[in-house]
Structure 1
Amino acid sequence: MTPAMPSDKDATHGVLFGLGAYLMWGCFPLFFALFEGTPAWEILIHRVLWSCVFLAGLIVLLRRWQPVIGALRRPQRLGRVLACALLIGLNWGIYIYAVETRHVLQASLGYFLTPLVNVALGMLVLKERMSRWQALAVGLAAIAIAVQLILLGQLPWITLVLALSFGTYGLLRKQVPLDGLSGLFVETLLLLPLALLALGWLSAEGASHFLQGDPRTTLLLIASGVFTALPLMAFAGAARRLRLATLGFLMYLNPTMQFFIALLVFHEPLSPIQLATFVLIWIGLAVYSCSAWQGRPQSRGA
């Protein structure tokens, strides 16, 4: 049976949800820049803790405990979920570090690179066939990274860790039979014991910024959980209403916003070599996007 296409109203709502999700993600550098003097790993601890609390409240409100309980009753199947949790935790931590150290351009490049990493992982891990246009796009991305390594003499590790961690997270997440809300809650729940242990150690050492310093910082740490969950909820609403091709185009809004925030707000330097790197990856994304768009089903809807 052919799946029903979304109505014009559903498609419009889907685009609005998608824009909301990617606009919120695009503004994350401005939010995490507010944590002046708080170490990235302490922010990560609270992001896990308060995300878990907020998501638990949402699951109670929406009465969505059944998939969560079903997943927790099968601990032998939680291996992939734990791997997803560790990968998303790594991604969150490195991203916060990138904002704190004013390497938002590298973070932006990492998220521009993610779709091409997904293509490469699909070929290497899932043995998917790569079209010649996809191969060209991935090749341009590889050249871009090589340009930075050879001409700048440094490996853009923040870019690579963000792209590889999020790309691998997406690969594993597709193999987990949980919806977005339930899946993220189980992931944060698995990370919660580590977060509580780390928070306890910080408090015992008198090094915690939570309830022991500026009240503004305490409120920001709690808010980090809410700001983590809100765009994910909007994204889930968009994913239910839009085709993947449409969602993929909206995705570029996030790293584009981060790119301009890095330049215009944080005044990060952009050398000609770094600009050439971005241009190569942008060309690769254009080739990849055109290939994906041409291969889409010719049907009505967004």
Structure 2
Amino acid sequence: MRPAAQGLIALVAANVIWGLSPAFYKLIDHVPPLEVLSHRTVWSLVLFGLYLALQGRLAEITRALRAPGEGWRICVAAAMVSVNWTLFIWAVQVDRVMEASLGYFIFPLLSVLLGVVFFGEALGRAKLAAVALAGTGVLVLTVGLGVPPYLSLILAATFGAYSVLTKNARTGPVVSVTAEVLLFTPFALVWLWGVHAHGWVALTETAVGAFGTSWRDSLILVLSGPMTAGPMMLFAFGARRLQLATVGLMQYLNPTLQFLLAVAIFAEPFTRWHGIAFPLIWLALAVYSLEALRQERAARRAAMASSTEAATEK
């Protein structure tokens, strides 16, 4: 099988797992989000650590944390991804998966603006139109529902900030994520100790301490590690073997599956305002994707022309 085909299979698998993950976390919606997050963090670290250990790459984590400028980046990135994970788990538990999916639809368009602000990237007319359409969709929801879709916007913003922080990382994605999870693990362990030993609760939670009380809950909490680490490894494998535009388009599979779960399985309310806003955002994504494909093809043609010219000069 060709590398591109292998990459496509891995990328599809990663996004399908992410897209169906609300069904997994729904199985433990009686366990407080911070407790689920803590287990997700600890068991993810176990799997990431085993993966890197088998490859003889554990030393790369230390090098990443000690590299000039990398330590603070990894710390902030760990905070952003932890907030994102917590809100996503909470969204599943309170039947707001549709709003979560909207956040991941908005994220690619928000990343356009972040690219302009932080990296000086050009914002052409097509991408500007895509951002304007998405903004109109968000405005429609705000006016129609009487409140901005805060959850969607925060999920998009935290993941956008995470992307900015990791865009120019000197380490590979698996090493970077492992370092981030490693930094957050002490907090997760302290929280789990407090929950089990002292009945700690957050502001909106009641004490549970689910691990060890039933084999079902314990197994699901342990499996939250592979549910987190597995798709990340598949995504890293696939992204190295595919063109950037293909990777970007495939990532829409994740929120699409989340949206379908919310409507078809969880029966979350889909109002007429959603019926106006979502198509606007989907249209924005279509415009953005077509422009991204056009730019990538133009870049490939320019690179081929340059290489042909260089070969001719020799």
CA contact (8 A) 2:31 2:210 kept: no
Q: d(CA) in 2 for partners of 1:146 and 1:211? A: 42
Q: Which amino acid aligns with 1:274?
A: H
Instruction: Name which of structure 1's ranges 204-213 and 174-183 shifts more when overlaid on structure 2.
Output: 204-213
Q: d(CA) in 2 for partners of 1:76 and 1:249? A: 32
Look up the SS of the partner of 2:296 in the other structure. coil
Q: d(CA) in 2 for partners of 1:251 and 1:211? A: 33
Counterpart of 2:138 in structure 1 is 145
Matched, 1:296 2:282: no
CA contact (8 A) 1:81 1:176 kept: no
How far is the alpha carbon of 1:224 from its aligned partner? Answer: 0.3
Q: Which amino acid aligns with 1:28?
A: S
Q: d(CA) in 2 for partners of 1:212 and 1:20? A: 31
Look up the SS of the partner of 1:119 in the other structure. helix
CA contact (8 A) 1:209 1:218 kept: no
Counterpart of 2:149 in structure 1 is 156
Deviations 1:138-197 (A, max 9, x none): 111111111111221111111001111111111111132111111111000110111111
Q: d(CA) in 2 for partners of 1:133 and 1:75? A: 38
Distance 1:72 1:172, change over 3 A: closer
Q: For 1:37, which of 30, 35, 52 is the aligned residue?
A: 30
What residue ranges of structure 1 are gaps of 5+ in the alignment?
A: 1-7
Deviations 1:100-136 (A, max 9, x none): 1111111111111110010011112222220011011
Q: For 1:175, which of 160, 168, 190 is the aligned residue?
A: 168
Q: For 1:18, which of 2, 11, 17 is the aligned residue?
A: 11
Matched, 1:46 2:6: no
Q: Which amino acid aligns with 1:296?
A: E
Q: Which amino acid aligns with 1:263?
A: V
Instruction: Name which of structure 1's ranges 172-181 and 133-142 shifts more when overlaid on structure 2.
Output: 172-181
Q: TM-score, normalised by structure 1?
A: 0.93
Distance 1:76 1:173, change over 3 A: closer
How far is the alpha carbon of 1:19 from its aligned partner? Answer: 0.6
Instruction: Name which of structure 1's ranges 238-247 and 139-148 shifts more when overlaid on structure 2.
Output: 139-148
Q: d(CA) in 2 for partners of 1:250 and 1:73? A: 34
Aligned residue pair count: 293
Q: Which amino acid aligns with 1:220?
A: I
Counterpart of 1:71 in structure 2 is 64
Counterpart of 1:236 in structure 2 is 236
Q: d(CA) in 1 for partners of 2:235 and 2:211? A: 32
Look up the SS of the partner of 2:169 in the other structure. coil
Look up the SS of the partner of 1:241 in the other structure. coil
CA contact (8 A) 1:209 1:217 kept: no
Distance 1:45 1:75, change over 3 A: farther
Equivalent positions of 1:67-146 (< 5 A) are 67-74=60-67, 77-146=70-139
How far is the alpha carbon of 1:258 from its aligned partner? Answer: 0.7
Counterpart of 2:283 in structure 1 is 283
What residue ranges of structure 2 are gaps of 5+ in the alignment?
A: 200-206, 302-314
Counterpart of 1:266 in structure 2 is 266
CA contact (8 A) 1:134 1:288 kept: yes
Q: After TM superposition, which residue ranges in structure 1, 4 or more long, deviate above 4 angstroms? A: none
Instruction: Name which of structure 1's ranges 142-151 and 131-140 shifts more when overlaid on structure 2.
Output: 142-151
Distance 1:203 1:75, change over 3 A: farther
**Higher alpha-carbon Rg:** 2
Instruction: Name which of structure 1's ranges 280-289 and 205-214 shifts more when overlaid on structure 2.
Output: 205-214
Q: d(CA) in 1 for partners of 2:74 and 2:265? A: 37
Deviations 1:175-220 (A, max 9, x none): 3211111111100011011111111111122434344422211111
CA-atom RMSD, angstroms? 1.6
Q: Which amino acid aligns with 2:296?
A: R
CA contact (8 A) 1:51 1:188 kept: yes
Q: d(CA) in 1 for partners of 2:49 and 2:115? A: 33
Q: d(CA) in 2 for partners of 1:109 and 1:163? A: 9
